[in-house]
A and B are shown apart, each in its own frame.
Chain A
Amino acid sequence: MNTPVLEVRELSKRFGGINATDRVDLDVHEGEILAVIGPNGAGKTTLIAQLAGMLAPDSGRIRFAGRDITGLPPHARARLGMARSFQITSIFDALSVLDNTLLAVQAHAGHSYRFWRRARRDKKLTEPAMAALQQVGLADKAAANARGLSHGEHRQLEIAMALAGTSKLLLLDEPMAGMGGEESARMVDLLRALKSSKSILLIEHDMDVVFALADRITVMVDGKAIASGAPEEIRADENVRRAYLGVETPGDA
């Protein structure tokens, strides 16, 4: 087995008396989709925030692309090839759809201390940006102001921005939240197609999506990773069924 792209060991984060992340281990291998599931409040978003560097863990290590990145700030991790989509849409409201995507490309296209050439006429930026918009089905809205997009389109733009760079690993926090059935199905196809070129850590509530996409699943409850394995193992796991998969109604912790 190849070495994991992302390796998390004993990651812990406490907020007051609550173990938001409780000694979590997980691996994402190359070209794999790892889904992290769990009830609301299980600590999934806190986990992603630590992986992306927005939140410092109390203890534990994060290795990415063979490097210890536990202490690196968000921009340095992004530089190493980690892209992130946000659960709550986070885009550049005042800029156009193309500009949003263009910035995501630009982030991976060397330094930006370039003061003269017009960025919007730079094919090295606009072509990959348009390609990413094409992939998510937003190309016809490229010139529109990002503020005016529908909720589903905002989500598509989030994904386009995650795709636009040359990132090895995508951290997707509920990318399908708020999408219609058709958009959501298109996104499932898109993520499946991406698998060959990128590794994905996916947080998702929709079990149909998770079981359709994931190579492996990690289940989190109350900050702990209670199980990890292939989808069929997870489906059969007694603990998981009891804690989460609908045998009993999960409580909102």
Chain B
Amino acid sequence: MQLSRPPVRLGVRLLVLLTFAILPGLTAAFDQPFLLDLALRMMILATAAVSLNLILGYGGMISFGHAAYIGIGAYAVGIPAYYGEYSGYVQLPLAIGAGALFALITGFICLRTKGVYFIMITLAFAQMAYFAFVSIEEYGGDDGLVINLRSKFTGVIDMESTHEFYYVVLVFLVGALYLVSRIVNARFGMVIQGAKDNEPRMQSLGFDTFRYRLACYVIAGAMAAAAGWLMGNYNYFFSPEMMSWTHSGELIFMVVLGGAGSLFGPVLGAIVLIILEEVLSGATVYWPLILGAILISVVLFARGGLEGALAMLERRK
């Protein structure tokens, strides 16, 4: 029954990933390095959105502070670099470890609340991180600092080469997607989804839902910090602004636009949002207004986001 339907979603996934895979060749041939830059930003933010989707889409934990992890990941490149430590073998584990630790500490408190309170307290912690880094003059305060060199994996990958860095980013995106697809279908993921659906029932079945949620929150935080590590390398720059709540909002927008709780939705959301921003901001200074109207329409009329719309297309044909 399923097989006779046109696999629209699968087709879109393959098309998107294939396009990302061959893009460096195309942009070189047509001399459009700007497109490569755009694709890099899409993939990095998509990786972060995929991690947010793990807690928001599958776990029902609406974090309004996910950009904090991007900032933490970027500072994990910048601060060691400031002291002359450029090794990626130091910076990447530092980013992941710091992201996981921040998620563990804040999650321990946030996850005792539900609904709007959870949203507000995740926002509050992200703002605390933001202002903490604003106040550290040593690392540039609110101006941030420039990073001279990207993370070094001497003899393995040359991150300074745009193409090599590009494929590192692509591997992270695909890796994040694969990781989330395994997690949500494993026993752990069943618990996370059950707790989103009906937490008291999970507890009466015998699950200590708080711990499972906390573990999920930590995994998502570590993944987002890895995306932040990419972002710091991509920008050659870090600043507290990366942690600002507007970026957290953007990540939520990507997940909702693409389809919360669908594996590939956040990737589509990131791509479409970034294209919209590019196109609209070129056309009018009032572009955030139009963007807002689009988001409201998605929430009101297309609950499943882009993935939901594609699924509907599959059913109709």
* A interface residues (Cβ-Cβ under 8 A, vs B): 52, 54, 73-76, 78-79, 83-84, 86, 90-95, 99, 102-104, 106-108, 112-120, 122, 125, 161, 165
Contact = CB atoms under 8 A, between A and B. Distances in A.
B315 interface: no
B146 interface: no
B207 interface: yes
Interface residues of B, number: 26
28 contacts: A54-B200, A54-B204, A74-B203, A75-B202, A75-B205, A78-B203, A78-B204, A78-B207, A79-B206, A83-B205, A84-B204, A86-B201, A90-B198, A92-B194, A92-B198, A92-B201, A94-B193, A95-B197, A103-B194, A112-B190, A112-B212, A113-B212, A114-B188, A115-B186, A115-B188, A119-B186, A119-B187, A161-B205
Interface string B190-220: 1101101110111111111100100100000
B228 interface: no
A95 B189 CA distance: 12
Interface string B101-141: 00000000000000000000000000000000000000000
Nearest to A164: B205
Contact of A106 (B190, B200, B208, B209): B190
A104 B203 contact: no
Given A52-B204, A75-B208, A93 B187 contact: no
Given A92-B193, A95-B197, A107-B207, 4 more contacts: A91-B198, A107-B205, A112-B188, A119-B187
Nearest to A167: B206
Nearest to B192: A112
A113 B185 CA distance: 12
Given A92-B197, A92-B201, A78 B189 contact: no
A99 B188 CA distance: 13
Contacts of A161: 205
Contact of A112 (B182, B200, B201, B207): B207
B201 A106 contact: no
Contacts of A92: 193-194, 197-198, 201
B182 A93 contact: no
In this complex, the member of A73, A76, A92, A95 whose beta carbon has the largest number of chain B beta carbons within 10 angstroms is A92
B291 interface: no
B145 interface: no
B205 A165 contact: yes
B186 A117 contact: yes
Nearest to B196: A94
Lowest 3 A-B CB distances belong to which pairs? A78-B206, A107-B206, A107-B205
B188 A118 contact: no
A91 B206 CA distance: 14
A103 B206 CA distance: 10
Given A106-B191, A119-B186, A93 B207 contact: no
Contacts of B206: 75-76, 78-79, 107-108, 165
A94 B205 contact: no
A84 B191 CA distance: 18
B78 to A, nearest CB: 31
Nearest to A85: B204
Contact of A116 (B186, B194, B196): B186
